[in-house]
Every structure is written in structure tokens, then in C-alpha cells.
Structure 1
Amino acid sequence: MTQLVQQPLPDHVPPELAMALPLFSRRVVYENPQETLIPAMHADLPPITYVTNIFPGDQPGWLLKNAADVQAMLRDPDNFTKNGMGKWAQNIGENWLVIPTEADPPVHTAYRKALNGHFSPQKMFAMKEQVRERAAVLIDTFKDRGHCDFIVEFSEKFPIFIVLDLLGLPQERMAQFLKWEKELLHTNDWQVRGNAVKCVKDYLLEEIEARRREPRDDYITKVLDFDVDGRLWTDDEVLGHCFNLYIGGLDTVTSLLGNIFNYLASHPEKQNELRADPSQIVLAVEEFLRAFAPVTAFRIATKVIEIQGQTIMPGEYVAFCSPVVGRDPAFYEDPQDIRFDRKAPHMSLGSGIHKCLGMHLARLELQIAVEEFVKRVPEFRTKDGFQVPYFVGNILHVPDLQLQWD
């Protein structure tokens, strides 16, 4: 399961805790990591591990296996920072932050004060019929065909339609946006990643400048009027926030949908539970978020810290791997069992001050996607003879999912 590391390690890292893990190898495999790798990690790994390939570019960091340790970290902004966590700007020699994701208190509090109202449950609920129409139109293109390429025909397009609508960006550029998104989030090559950062940054700056010249009725125009402590946001802050919406809105829900529908395709009884009683879908989505969360996120230690008896030095990365935390057997009873009545708390949308800004929109998108799909498509399954691929890396997802139905 693991590969012990031979190269020199920092003096405070015990050699027995240092290893490369297959879950972060950033490649396609054909075994379901939620059923194999993750349960094995809970069975075999210590509570904290120095994982040499945990960050893109095969850079090291500490993995916390237990949900309780992760929860404590996420609620501790004094000992952990998110400043520059993703190394997006640093990769191209700049120093703007992804807003509010990479901001720390007290300025983070001011950012969220400006932003929360725009992503409130009420604001997102007002988008419900628009979101439903996007889902229905996509499903209607293939529902009578008896099969679909789920990722290409639905899960990639559906959440991106919504985000592009919100930002006022052109739907006809979707193919280009998807290319940049994959180069940003699904590569281990820092040059590819950096080139994509430059492309997205340049494009967003053009759009921001266009709104300054000619304001529109869209979210980017609204951002230009946001303030922090009585001053308007700087150009870097506006860019950093738009970049945040781009990388968050174009990928996470897509990855979740692939994981969820891969599960439903192999568990027709679960599909039919939701068909028979759609009122279960709200709680089912919370269970899906627990079990199929895709993202590994990070904090950076700000001082010497001890976790589970291990010293962590300032500047070292500490990982919150939501696919691992969501299946912690010490935190969840029978975590491999998907139960729509579980009602268990999860951290898949974050915890503490950095709880996901778009969590209400993400929930709405997932609920409507499941509801419309099971309503419009009969019992579906993985296409005969198709072997499901799984991408293991910082965003655990199914890159290709071929479905069919009778």
C-alpha cells in the first residue's frame, strides 16, 4: 500500500512515518480507492504520517488520518494558516491570494462579511428553478437514447453552466475553461499548472476590466463594489476572489457527481430508494458528501506544534483529506455503508471559519442533479464491459463514466 522513503528527511521526521501513498500518486487506476486504498489506510497507517507526495509536484506534508484531529486543526487559525496555501500566485512569481480561501483573520472576517450575503441559503434558493432547468435540459438530450457519457454530457457541464451564469462569463468558452481547469487541478507538472494559472489570470483580468468600463448585471460587477473596513477591494483582491470562484465552481461539484453516480450505477437499490421517495434526497446528499468527498486541502503550521506526539515545524503542510476523513471508522459507524438516514456531521465542505463559501450552492446543485436524474432516467448501470477509471490525487474523481439503461 505504501512506499517507504529513502531520501534524506528533516531531522524531526521519524523514518518509519515517512512514505509515499498511492492515494496521492496523481494517475488513473482501476480499483475503487474508496473501497480499497482508504479502508487500508485507516487499518494500517498511524494517526499522523509524513507523506512525501501529498502536494502537487510530489511535495511533502503531514496527513492527519483521524477526523477528530482534522476537526481540531480546521478550528485553529492561530496555529495554522491558509496564506498562500495553494501556491497559485507563487507558482508564477506573484503574491496575490485566493480570496477568501487563502486569507487569515482578521481580514478573512471582513472578506466573509462582504461575501456571505451573496451566497446565503436564500440567495441560492432563489436560483433553484434556474439550476433545475439547466439539469433538465442536459438530461433531456440523452434520456431517450438509453446511454450517456455522464462526465462529458452532464457532470462537467451542469455546475459550470451555473457558475458561468453567476459570473456572467460566456458559455461558449466552456471547452477552454475546462481545459484550463484540468491543467490547474489535475496535473503533477508545475509548469503546466503555472501556465494555466497565467491563462486564467489574464482572462479574468480582461473580464474584470470590461466590467469596470461597462458594468453589467452579474457577480463580477458586484465584486467591484465590495469593501473591507471602508475601502474598496484592491485589484489583487478582486482577481483573487474571481480566481477562487473559477477553481471552486468548475471542479468540485463535477468530481462529487462522478463519484456519486458511479456508486448509484452499481447500487440500483439505492437509486430506487430515491425514486420511490425523493424526500430522502436532501439527507442522501449529506451522506454522499461524507462518503464521496473528493478534495485534499491543506493548512500550513505557523509555529512548532505537536499532534499525536509528533512535532510539526513552522511552514510545514498539514493535510485535510476529505475522502479519508469521511470514512474514519473511529468517527463514523460502519463508514463504508451508505445510509440515507445517517444524519452524521461531516467536514466535506470545511469546518470553522473557512467553511466553504459556496456550500449552499453546491448542496443545491447536488440535490437537483440527483432528483432530476432519477426522475427522468430509469434504473441505470455502468455500460456493459466498461471498466471505471479512478483518478487518485488531490481531487479524487472518476474521469470517465459510461452509463446505460433499458
Structure 2
Amino acid sequence: MTALAQKPLPDHVPAHLAMALPLFARKVTYDNPQDVLIPQMHAELPPITYVTNIFPGDQPGWLLKNADDVQAMLRDADNFTKNGMGKWAQNIGENWLVIPTEADPPVHTGYRKALNSHFAPQKMFAMKEQVRERARALIEEFKDKGECDFIADFSEKFPIFIVLDLLGLPQERMAEFLKWEKELLHSNDWEVRGNAVRSVKNYLMEEIEARRVAPRDDYISKILTFEVDGRLWNDDEVLGHCFNLYIGGLDTVTSLLGNIFNYLAANPDKQDELRANPSLIVLAVEEFLRAFAPVTAFRIATKVIEIHGQTIMPGDYVAFCSPVIGRDPAYYEDPQAIRFDRKAPHMSLGSGIHKCLGMHLARLELQIAVEEFVGMLPQFRVKDGFKVPYFVGNILHVPDLHLQWG
């Protein structure tokens, strides 16, 4: 399962804890990592491992395998920072932060105070019919064909429609936005990633400036009125928040949907359970979030810390791998089983002060996607002869999924 590290190790890293892991190989495989790699990792890895390929560009960091350790880290803003965690701005020689994701207390508190009301449950619920109409319109386009290319026909478009509606960005540029998003989040080449950061930044700056000149009834215009510490947000803060919505809104739900519908296609009994009792869908989505979370995120140690007897030095990256944590057998009974009555807590939308700003919108999108799919279509399955690919990396996802029914 593992490969020994080849590069020289820092002095505080013991050789027996250092390895490259296939879960972060950033390539396509045809073995389902949730069924194969992740259970192996729980069975074979120690609680903390120095993974030499865990960050894009095959950069190293520590992997915490157990949910309790991750929970403690996510709640410890004194010893772990998120400042510059994603290296987005640094990659192009700049220093703005992704807001609020890369901000630390106390300024993070001010940002969240300005933002939380705009992503509150009641605000997201008010979008319910708009979200449902988007889902239904997409399904209508293929429901009578007996098959669909799920990623291209539905899961890429659906959440992006919603985010572009929210931001007031043009739907007709979706293909361009998707290209940038894939280069940002799925490439292991820092030059490719950097070029995409520049493209997104330049585009967002144009849109922000257009709203300064002529405000509209959209969220970008609202951001220009936000305050922190008694002042309006500056240009870097407005850009950083727009960038956060771009990278968060254009990928995470898409990746979750691919993982979820791949599972449902392979388990028609679970589809039928939801068709027979749609009231289960809210709980089912929480179980899907636990079991099919796609993202590996990071914190950076600010002090010398000891975890399970291992010294972590300032500047070390420490990973929160939600696909691994959601399948922790020490935290969840029979974690490989998908049970709609589990009602177990999960950290797939974060924990502590950095809990996902868009979590209520993400839940709404997932719930409506499942509701409309099982409501509008008969029992579906993976298309005959199609071999499902899995992309292993920092966002674990199904890049291509062909379904059929009837």
C-alpha cells in the first residue's frame, strides 16, 4: 500500500513514519479507494504518519488517522494556523488570504460575523425552489434518454449554476470556469495551478470593479458593503472571499455528488429505500457526507507540538483527510456500512471556528439532487460495460460516471 520516502527527511521525522501513500497519488485508479485504500490505511497505519506526497506538488505533511485527533486539531487555533494554508496567493507571488478559510482569530471572528447571516439556514432555505428548478431542468434534459453522463450532464453543472446565480456571474462562461477550477484543484503542477489562480483572480477583480462602478442585486455587490473592525473590507479581502466561493462552490458538491451517485447506482436497494420513504433523505445526506467526503484540508503548526509521541515542528503541515476520518472504525461502528439511521456526527463540513461557511447550501443542494433523481427517474445503475474511474488526491472524486435506467 505504501512506498518509502525517497527525499531526505527533516531531522525530527523518523524514517519509519515517512512514506508516500497511494490515496494522494493524484491519478486515476479503477479500485474504489473508499472500499480498498482507506480500510487498509486504518488497518495498517500508525495514528500519525509523515506523508511525503500529501500536499499538491508532492509536498509533505503529517496525516492524522483518527477522528478524535483531528477534532482536537480543528478546535486548536492557538497551535495550528490556516494562514496561507492553500498557497494560492503565494504561488503567484502575492499575499492575500482566502476569506474566511485562511484567516485566524481574532480577525476571523470579524469576517464570520459579517458573513454568517448571509449563509444562515433561513437564507439558504429561501433558495430551495430556485435550487430545485435547476436540478429538475437538468434532469429533464436526459430523463427520457434512458442514460446520462452524470458528471457532465448533472453534477458539474448543478452546483455551479447555483453559485453563479448567487454571485451574479454569467452562466454562459461555465465551461471556462470549469477549466480553471480543474486546473486549480486537480492539477499537481504548480505552474498550471498558478496560471489558473491568475486567471480566476483577474476575472474576479474585473467583476468586483464593475460592481464598484455600478452595484447590482447580487452577492458580490453585497460584499463591498461588509465591514470588519469598523471599516469596509479592502480589495484583497473582497477578492479573497470571492475566490473562496469560487473554489468552494465549483467543486466540493460536484465531487460529493459523483461519489454518492456512484454508490447509489451500485446499490439499487438503497435507491428504493429513499424512493419509498423520501423523509429519509435528510438523514441519508448526513450519512453520505460522512462516508463520501472528498476533501483533504490542512493546518500549519505554529509551535512545537507533540502528537502520539511525535514532535511536530512549526511550519509543518498537518492534514485533515475527511475521506479517512469519515471511515474511522475507532469512531464509527462498522464505518463501511451505509446506514440511513446512523445519526452519527461527522466532520466532513469542518469543525470548530472554521466549520464550512456554505454548509447549509451544500446540504440543500445534496438533498435536492437526491430527491429529484430518485423522484424523477426509475432505478438507475452504472451503464453496462462502463468501468468507473476514481481520482485519488486531495479531492477524492469520480471524474466520469455513466448511468442508465429502464
TM, length-normalised to structure 1: 1.00
Counterpart position of 1:382: 382
Counterpart position of 1:206: 206
1:367 lines up with 2:363 in the alignment: no
SS of equivalent to 2:54: strand
Aligned-partner Cα distance in 1 for 2:137–2:388: 26
- Tell me how many residue pairs correspond in the alignment: 406
1:103 lines up with 2:82 in the alignment: no
Counterpart position of 1:402: 402
Deviations 1:97-153 (Å, cap 9, x if unpaired)?
Answer: 000000000000000000000000000000000000000000000011100000000
Aligned-partner Cα distance in 2 for 1:189–1:159: 26
Counterpart position of 1:180: 180
1:352 lines up with 2:352 in the alignment: yes
Aligned-partner Cα distance in 2 for 1:328–1:340: 18
Counterpart position of 2:142: 142
What letter corresponds to residue 256 of structure 2 in structure 1? L
Percent identity, aligned pairs only? 85
Shift of 1:229: 1.5
SS of equivalent to 2:144: coil
The unaligned stretches of length 5 or more in structure 2 are none
Counterpart position of 1:325: 325
Counterpart position of 2:13: 13
Aligned-partner Cα distance in 2 for 1:341–1:308: 33
CA RMSD, aligned part only? 0.3
Counterpart position of 2:306: 306
Counterpart position of 2:160: 160
What letter corresponds to residue 233 of structure 1 in structure 2? W
Counterpart position of 1:123: 123
Counterpart position of 1:285: 285
Counterpart position of 1:34: 34
Shift of 1:258: 0.1
Aligned-partner Cα distance in 2 for 1:197–1:229: 28
Counterpart position of 1:74: 74
Shift of 1:242: 0.1
Shift of 1:312: 0.2
What letter corresponds to residue 313 of structure 2 in structure 1? M
1:53 lines up with 2:53 in the alignment: yes
Aligned-partner Cα distance in 1 for 2:12–2:185: 31
Aligned-partner Cα distance in 1 for 2:52–2:172: 40
Aligned-partner Cα distance in 2 for 1:327–1:226: 39
SS of equivalent to 2:341: coil
Aligned-partner Cα distance in 1 for 2:108–2:13: 32
What letter corresponds to residue 200 of structure 2 in structure 1? V
Shift of 1:159: 0.2
Aligned-partner Cα distance in 2 for 1:228–1:42: 43
SS of equivalent to 1:11: coil
1:340 lines up with 2:320 in the alignment: no
Deviations 1:188-218 (Å, cap 9, x if unpaired)?
Answer: 0000000000000000000000000110000
Aligned-partner Cα distance in 2 for 1:306–1:278: 47
SS of equivalent to 1:86: coil
Aligned-partner Cα distance in 2 for 1:88–1:82: 12
The unaligned stretches of length 5 or more in structure 1 are none
What letter corresponds to residue 25 of structure 2 in structure 1? S
Aligned-partner Cα distance in 2 for 1:184–1:229: 31
Aligned-partner Cα distance in 2 for 1:387–1:318: 34
Aligned-partner Cα distance in 1 for 2:184–2:7: 28
Aligned-partner Cα distance in 1 for 2:276–2:348: 27
SS of equivalent to 2:318: strand
What letter corresponds to residue 158 of structure 2 in structure 1? F
Deviations 1:336-383 (Å, cap 9, x if unpaired)?
Answer: 000000000000000000000000000000000000000001000000
TM, length-normalised to structure 2: 1.00
What letter corresponds to residue 207 of structure 1 in structure 2? E
Deviations 1:286-334 (Å, cap 9, x if unpaired)?
Answer: 0000000000000000000001110000000000000000000000000
What letter corresponds to residue 298 of structure 2 in structure 1? F
Shift of 1:7: 2.5
- Which aligned segments of 4 or more residues in structure 1 are displaced greater than 6 angstroms? none
Shift of 1:8: 1.4
Deviations 1:11-43 (Å, cap 9, x if unpaired)?
Answer: 111100000000000000000000000000000
Counterpart position of 2:62: 62
Aligned-partner Cα distance in 1 for 2:342–2:192: 41
SS of equivalent to 1:61: strand
SS of equivalent to 2:51: strand
Aligned-partner Cα distance in 2 for 1:132–1:400: 24
SS of equivalent to 1:152: helix
SS of equivalent to 1:256: helix
Shift of 1:219: 0.0
Aligned-partner Cα distance in 1 for 2:123–2:5: 49
Aligned-partner Cα distance in 1 for 2:309–2:400: 42
SS of equivalent to 2:306: strand
Shift of 1:251: 0.1
Shift of 1:6: 3.2
Counterpart position of 2:132: 132
Deviations 1:64-113 (Å, cap 9, x if unpaired)?
Answer: 00000000000000000000000000000000000000000000000000
Shift of 1:5: 1.2
Counterpart position of 1:247: 247
Aligned-partner Cα distance in 2 for 1:337–1:66: 18
Aligned-partner Cα distance in 2 for 1:115–1:42: 37
Aligned-partner Cα distance in 2 for 1:41–1:259: 19
SS of equivalent to 2:403: strand
What letter corresponds to residue 358 of structure 1 in structure 2? G
